[in-house]
Amino acid sequence: MPLKVAQDENLNLNLTPMIDVVFLLVIFFMVATRFTEAERNIELELPQVPAAGEAAAPIKPRVITVTNEGQTLLDGEPVAIEELTTRLADEVRRSPDVQVVINGDARTPFQAVAAALAACREARVEDLGITVELAAKAGSTIR
Residues 85, 20 share a domain: no
128 versus 43: which is more confidently predicted? 128
Crossing angle of helices 81-94 and 110-122, rounded to 10°:
30
pLDDT at residue 21 tops 90: yes
CA distance 78 to 65: 9
pLDDT at residue 35 tops 70: no
In a domain, 80, yes or no: yes
110 versus 8: which is more confidently predicted? 110
Residues 86, 117 share a domain: yes
Cβ partners under 8 Å of residue 8, min gap 6: none
Nearest CA-CA partner of 115 in 66, 54, 57, 44: 66
Task: Give the domain extent around 39.
Answer: 14-43
CA distance 101 to 92: 14
* Confidence (pTM): 0.54
56 versus 69: which is more confidently predicted? 69
In a domain, 83, yes or no: yes
Across residues 22-51, what is the average pLDDT? 75
pLDDT at residue 83 tops 70: yes
Nearest CA-CA partner of 128 in 102, 90, 96, 92: 102
76 versus 142: which is more confidently predicted? 76
- The overall average pLDDT reported for the chain is 80
In a domain, 139, yes or no: no
